[in-house]
């Protein structure tokens, strides 16, 4: 791992900057209280380093900005659409493209087309919006990720893998016709950005082929997953990221994509499928929810920026620097003794809040508490990924996930090494005073996706 630290210098230089404000401790205290101790409700002006998400927060390249100026805003048949369609076919290898304004737009349409009431959708760990759309369409999510994924200290290199035994049992129990597709994420977000191996994908493909079940790929961070395959899996060291990405996709039947992650854009997503019938249905449905199928609710310029960003996202130099920066931060935190999910994932550092604050019970939201404390120390905004994000079951009970994490997500190409140092040092300071930190209670809870808008009070 040591040599990675020295090799991640950015393959770009800075062309435009955005000025930051630095709030005082007193201002931060006031802002956090007004936001109900939910980092989502902070005004971004009060934030110094924003690690809330890597979604839509990338710095675009000068080429992408040039593409923005080349937007063709025609309502139908924009040339930017045809460019994007070609790039998706060439780089990702899927046949048919439906652009959408975001990844969740694609999930909404796909779930409505493929899921019938009472269906089971197995997947390698849930993701908030994905599971919600599956449930709203009448389906039920079943977790088939390997057990290692739930253990933050296990160093297994591919903690995003599917447990094929779990899947086979599910198929046996419910029967293949009840399973419209397997939902497979690359770089599993809720597990800490953990990759799935090519070998596991191949085996999954063989099994699903036997049962004639589709595999749908949540490919928002596929290039980061490809990097880990290149670094860790036998036989891939000499393959390019581009080749690996294409091979991953070849074992799946379609994909939903939030282009706001890997593809380096601020807005946009798509649904891509190989099946003409699904495509045709999606094309009729996208008009109602998103926009005509040649723009899907996106400005032409955003499709152009996405087409260019996809090309940049699969370059080996880009991914090496991207993941290298994340690993740099993670190693620094470990030096300070901060408990984090291992191995370090591709898009952020996931701090283990249960271990960080062992005196706070999960009912008192240790991760939510820690996110608030990290903000108060130096203005670093992070996100809870624990009991608040997990939400409630259909019967109203809380899900109590094994992982109670705070996510430090690193936007692509935005922050420097000095910023990383500030983040690690600030987290270390909070760690030193951890014993004096108290839990919280929830005072407002929305019905869906509560983590976005819930409000809390200190105990």
- Choose the catalytic residue: 261, 320, 413, 450: 261
What are the structure tokens assigned to 429, written together? 């300071």
Q: Which residues bind other proteins (CB under 8 A)?
A: 16, 18, 39-47, 50, 52-53, 55-57, 68-69, 71-79, 82, 101-102, 104-105, 108, 129, 132-133, 136, 266-267, 283-284, 287-293, 295, 297-302, 446-449, 452-453
Residues in the chain: 459
- Choose the catalytic residue: 53, 100, 128, 220: 128
- CB nearer to other proteins: pick between 4 and 449: 449
- Minimal distance in Å, beta carbon 94 to other proteins? 20
- Choose the catalytic residue: 5, 33, 63, 75: 75
- Choose the catalytic residue: 48, 127, 227, 408: 127
- Minimal distance in Å, beta carbon 76 to other proteins? 4
State yes or no: is 421 an active-site residue: no
- CB nearer to other proteins: pick between 194 and 409: 409
- Minimal distance in Å, beta carbon 367 to other proteins? 17
State yes or no: is 141 an active-site residue: no
> Residue 1: how many CA atoms within 13 Å on its side-chain side?
14
Pairing status of strand 405-409 against strand 348-352: antiparallel
- Minimal distance in Å, beta carbon 322 to other proteins? 17
- Integer Cα distance of 90 and 112 in angstroms: 28
Q: Give ∠ CA 126-341-425 in degrees, rounded to 5.
A: 125
Helix/strand/coil for 410: coil
Place of tokens 């969740």: 104
- Minimal distance in Å, beta carbon 118 to other proteins? 21
- CB nearer to other proteins: pick between 100 and 252: 100
State yes or no: is 40 an active-site residue: no
Helix/strand/coil for 21: coil
- Minimal distance in Å, beta carbon 198 to other proteins? 32
- Integer Cα distance of 402 and 399 in angstroms: 9
Cis ω before 293 (30° cut-off from 0)? no
- CB nearer to other proteins: pick between 69 and 418: 69
- CB nearer to other proteins: pick between 361 and 416: 416
What are the structure tokens assigned to 169, written together? 């049992």
- Choose the catalytic residue: 385, 407, 412, 413: 385
Strands (E), 40-199: 49-50, 96-100, 120-123, 140-143, 181-185
DSSP summary character for residue 123: E
What are the b/e assignments for 152-179, b being 16+ CB within 10 Å?
beeeebbbbbbbeebbeebbeebeeebb
State yes or no: is 385 an active-site residue: yes
State yes or no: is 75 an active-site residue: yes
- Minimal distance in Å, beta carbon 304 to other proteins? 12
- CB nearer to other proteins: pick between 21 and 172: 21
> Backbone phi, then psi, for 218, in 5-degree steps?
-85, 100
> Backbone phi, then psi, for 115, in 5-degree steps?
-95, 130
- Choose the catalytic residue: 94, 158, 295, 451: 451
- CB nearer to other proteins: pick between 149 and 285: 285
> Backbone phi, then psi, for 261, in 5-degree steps?
-100, -105
- CB nearer to other proteins: pick between 27 and 44: 44
Burial class (CB in 10 A: 0-12, 13-18, 19+), 72: middle
- Minimal distance in Å, beta carbon 442 to other proteins? 16
Distances (CA, A) of 84 to 59, 72, 406, 410: 20, 12, 35, 26
Pairing status of strand 440-444 against strand 455-458: antiparallel
What are the structure tokens assigned to 88, written together? 């998706």
Whether the CB-CB separation of 234 and 185 falls below 8 Å is answered with no
Tell me the DSSP string of 193-229: SB---HHHHHHHHHHHHHHT-EEEEE-TTHHHHHHHH
State yes or no: is 129 an active-site residue: no
- Integer Cα distance of 127 and 385 in angstroms: 10
State yes or no: is 227 an active-site residue: no
- Choose the catalytic residue: 46, 54, 163, 218: 218
Active-site residue numbers? 75, 127-128, 218, 261, 385, 451
């Amino acid at each position: 791992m040591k040599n990675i630290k020295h090799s991640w210098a950015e393959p770009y230089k800075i062309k435009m900057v955005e000025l930051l404000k630095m709030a005082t401790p007193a201002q931060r205290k006031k802002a956090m209280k007004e936001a109900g101790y939910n980092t989502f409700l902070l005004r971004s002006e009060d934030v110094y380093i924003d690690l809330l998400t890597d979604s839509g927060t990338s710095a675009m390249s000068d080429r992408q900005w040039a593409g923005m100026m080349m937007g063709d805003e025609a309502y139908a048949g924009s040339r930017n659409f045809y460019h994007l369609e070609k790039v998706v076919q060439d780089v990702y290898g899927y046949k048919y493209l439906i652009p959408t304004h975001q990844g969740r737009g694609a999930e909404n349409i796909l779930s409505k087309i493929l899921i019938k009431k009472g269906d089971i959708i197995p997947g390698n760990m849930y993701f908030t919006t994905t599971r919600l759309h599956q449930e709203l369409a009448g389906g039920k999510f079943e977790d088939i990720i390997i057990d290692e994924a739930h253990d933050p200290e296990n160093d297994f290199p591919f903690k995003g893998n599917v447990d094929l035994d779990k899947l086979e049992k599910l198929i046996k129990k419910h029967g293949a016709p009840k399973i419209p597709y397997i939902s497979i994420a690359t770089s599993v977000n809720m597990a800490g950005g953990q990759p799935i191996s090519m070998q596991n994908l191949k085996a999954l493909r063989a099994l699903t082929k036997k049962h004639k079940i589709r595999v749908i790929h949540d490919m928002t961070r596929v290039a980061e997953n490809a990097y880990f395959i290149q670094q860790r899996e036998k036989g891939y060291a000499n393959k390019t990221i581009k080749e690996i990405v294409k091979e991953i996709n070849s074992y799946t039947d379609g994909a939903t994509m939030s282009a706001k992650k890997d593809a380096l854009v601020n807005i946009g997503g798509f649904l891509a499928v190989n099946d003409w019938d699904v495509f045709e249905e999606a094309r009729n449905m996208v008009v109602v929810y998103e926009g005509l199928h040649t723009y899907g609710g996106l400005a032409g310029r955003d499709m152009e920026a996405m087409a260019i960003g996809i090309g940049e996202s699969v370059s080996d130099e880009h991914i090496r620097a991207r993941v290298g920066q994340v690993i740099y931060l993670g190693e620094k935190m470990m030096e300070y003794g901060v408990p984090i999910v291992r191995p370090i994932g591709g898009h952020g550092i996931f701090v283990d809040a249960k271990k960080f604050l062992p005196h706070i019970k999960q009912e008192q939201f240790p991760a939510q508490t820690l996110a608030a404390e990290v903000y108060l120390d130096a203005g670093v905004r992070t996100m809870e990924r624990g009991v608040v994000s997990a939400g409630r079951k259909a019967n109203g009970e809380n899900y109590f996930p094994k992982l109670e994490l705070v996510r430090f997500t690193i936007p692509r190409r935005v922050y420097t090494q000095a910023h990383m140092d500030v983040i690690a040092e600030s987290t270390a300071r909070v760690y030193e005073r951890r014993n004096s930190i108290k839990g919280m209670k929830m005072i407002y809870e929305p019905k869906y996706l509560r983590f976005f808008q819930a409000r809390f009070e200190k105990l």
